[in-house]
Structure 1
Amino acid sequence: MIHQKTNSIVIDSLNKFPHKIHIKLGDILKERGLTQGDLHRLTGLRVATINELVNFKKKSLTVAHLVSIMIALRITDLRDLIEIEFDDEVKAYFQQENQRMKNGFTPDLNKTVDRNVKQMSEGTRN
C-alpha cells in the first residue's frame, strides 16, 4: 500500500517494522446496509476513492477523507474504522525503546535521524 511517490526513508521504515492494516469500511457499510454510492452521497468522496479504500487499494488517505467518513458514519474512534497491528517482535522492540527514551529520542532513533538527514542531504530521496 505504498504510493509510488513515497520517499525511500518512509519505505525503509515501513519495511523495517512489519505491520498489518485492516480497513473495516466495507464491513461497516455492509452491517449498516449502506452502499459505496450511499457513502459517496454522504461524504462527497469519489466512488472510486471509496471503492479503493474498501478494497485496500488506496495508496494514501488524507485526514479529510477519514474525518468525512467518520462524520458520515457517526464514528468517533478511528480504531473503529482502521486497525494497524504490529508484529509481536516490533511491539516488544518499541516497548524497549520507549523505556530507553530520553528527550523524545532513543539511541536507535538518534541513529535513524542521522542516517535520514544524511540521505536527504545527499539528494537520494525518491
Structure 2
Amino acid sequence: MIHQKTNTIVIETLDRFPHKIHIKLGEILRERGLTQGDLHRLTGLRVATINELVNFKKKSLTVAHLVSIMIALRITDIRDLIEIEFDEEVQAYFNEENERMKNGFTPDLTKTAETNVKRIAAGVKN
C-alpha cells in the first residue's frame, strides 16, 4: 500500500522487506450482513474509500480511517481488521537483529539511519 507521495526511502524499505497485507473488511461486512453503504453511514467515510479498502486498491490508510471503522464495527483489536505478514526470511532476519539490539539499534539499523540522514540532507526526492 504505497501512496503516490511516499518518499523514496519508505518505498525502498518496503521493497527490502517483503510482506503481505490482508485487509479483512470485506469478510467482516459479509459476516455481519452489512454493505459498504452501511459502513459509510456508520463512519462518514466515502463509499469509494471503503470500496478501495475492501478491494485492496487503497494505497494508504490513515489511523482515522482505521479507528472509525473499528468503532463502527465494534472491533477492539486491529488484528481483527488487518494483518501484515512478513516472509519467513524477513522474520528470521528480524529475530537475529533483535538479539543484537543495543539501545534500540542494531548495527544494521545504525548503518541504515546514518545512510538515510545523509540522503535526507542531500534532498532525496519525496
When the two structures are superposed, what TM-score results if normalisation uses the length of structure 1? 0.98
State the 1:125 CA deviation: 2.5
State the 1:59 CA deviation: 1.1
Counterpart position of 2:61: 61
Which residue type is aligned with residue 97 of structure 2? Answer: E
Q: Distance in 2 between matches of 1:61 and 1:19?
A: 16
Percent of aligned pairs with the same amino acid = 82
Q: Distance in 2 between matches of 1:5 and 1:75?
A: 30
Q: In the alignment, does 2:41 pair up with 1:70?
A: no
Counterpart position of 2:18: 18
Which residue type is aligned with residue 71 of structure 1? Answer: I
Counterpart position of 2:86: 86
Name the SS for the 1:83 alignment partner: strand
Q: Distance in 2 between matches of 1:68 and 1:4?
A: 23
Q: Distance in 1 between matches of 2:117 and 2:49?
A: 34
Name the SS for the 1:90 alignment partner: helix
Q: Distance in 1 between matches of 2:38 and 2:82?
A: 20
Counterpart position of 2:125: 125
State the 1:103 CA deviation: 0.2
Which residue type is aligned with residue 33 of structure 2? Answer: G
In the alignment of these two chains, the number of paired residues is 126
Counterpart position of 1:41: 41
Q: 4+ residue runs of structure 1 moved beyond 3 angstroms? A: none
Runs of 5+ consecutive residues of structure 1 not aligned to the other structure: none
When the two structures are superposed, what TM-score results if normalisation uses the length of structure 2? 0.98
Q: Distance in 1 between matches of 2:15 and 2:120?
A: 18
Runs of 5+ consecutive residues of structure 2 not aligned to the other structure: none
CA contact (8 A) 1:119 1:125 kept: no
